[in-house]
Amino acid sequence: MMPMPESGLPPEGRPALRRCITGELDLDEFGRSYWGARALLSHGGDYRDLFSLEAADELLSRRGLRTPFLRVAKNGTVVSDNQFTGPGGVGAEIGDQVRDDKVAALFASGHTIVLQALHRTWPALVDFATQLSTDAGHPVQINAYITPAESQGFSAHYDVHDVFVLQVAGEKHWTVHEPVHADPLRSQPWTDHSKAVAAAARDRAPVIDEVLRPGDALYVPRGFLHSAKALGGVSAHLTVGMHTLTRYLLVQELAALAADESSLRTALPLGFDPGDPAQLATVLDDVASLLIKRIEQTTPDDLAPRLRRRTWSGNRPAPIPPLAHAAAIADLAAGTTVRLRPGLRFHLADGDPVRLQLTDRTISLPKATYPAVERLCSGGAVAVGDLPALDEPDQLVLVRRLLTEAVLTTA
- What's residue 12's pLDDT? 62
Specify the number of domains making up the chain.
3
Q: 220 lies in a domain?
A: yes
Assess whether 277 and 236 both reside in one domain. no
Contact at 8 Å (CB) between 46 and 237? no
Task: Give the pLDDT mean for 246-262.
Answer: 90
Q: 3 lies in a domain?
A: no
Contact at 8 Å (CB) between 190 and 156? no
Select from 208, 242, 276 the last residue of a domain: 242
Assess whether 213 and 276 both reside in one domain. no
- What's residue 151's pLDDT? 81
Assess whether 272 and 356 both reside in one domain. no
Assess whether 256 and 391 both reside in one domain. no
| Residue among 6, 99, 15 at smallest CA distance from 50 | 15
Question: Residue 150: which pLDDT band, with cuts at 50, 70 and 90?
Answer: confident
Assess whether 280 and 216 both reside in one domain. no
Assess whether 277 and 338 both reside in one domain. no
CA angle 138, 350, 333 (to 5 degrees): 90
Bridge partner list, 225:
177
pLDDT digit string (tens) for 357-405? 999 999 999 999 999 999 999 989 999 999 999 999 999 999 999 999 9
pLDDT digit string (tens) for 276-326? 999 999 999 999 998 898 889 999 999 998 898 889 988 899 999 999 999
Assess whether 272 and 400 both reside in one domain. no
- What's residue 387's pLDDT? 97
Select from 290, 311, 332 the last residue of a domain: 311
pLDDT higher than threshold 80 for residue 3: no
| Residue among 222, 197, 183 at smallest CA distance from 39 | 222
Question: Residue 2: which pLDDT band, with cuts at 50, 70 and 90?
Answer: very low
> How many CB atoms sit inside 10 A of residue 350's CB?
12
Assess whether 27 and 152 both reside in one domain. yes
User: Which domain covers residue 377, as residue numbers?
Assistant: 322-410
pLDDT higher than threshold 70 for residue 5: no
Query: 408 burial class (0-12, 13-18, 19+ CB within 10 angstroms)?
Result: buried
Average pLDDT of the chain?
93
Assess whether 213 and 260 both reside in one domain. no
Q: 59 lies in a domain?
A: yes
Query: 290 burial class (0-12, 13-18, 19+ CB within 10 angstroms)?
Result: middle
Assess whether 295 and 371 both reside in one domain. no
Q: How far is CA 294 from CA 221, 250, 286, 299, 301, in A?
A: 34, 14, 12, 10, 14
pLDDT higher than threshold 50 for residue 8: no
- What's residue 232's pLDDT? 85
Contact at 8 Å (CB) between 287 and 334? no
Measured distance CA(304)–CA(6) in Å, rounded:
10
CATH number for 374? 3.90.930.40
Q: 207 lies in a domain?
A: yes
Q: 346 lies in a domain?
A: yes
Assess whether 179 and 192 both reside in one domain. yes
Query: Residue 183: which region, alpha, beta or left (left: phi > 0; alpha: psi -120 to 50)?
Result: left
Select from 262, 291, 311 the last residue of a domain: 311
Q: 281 lies in a domain?
A: yes
Measured distance CA(143)–CA(166) in Å, rounded:
11
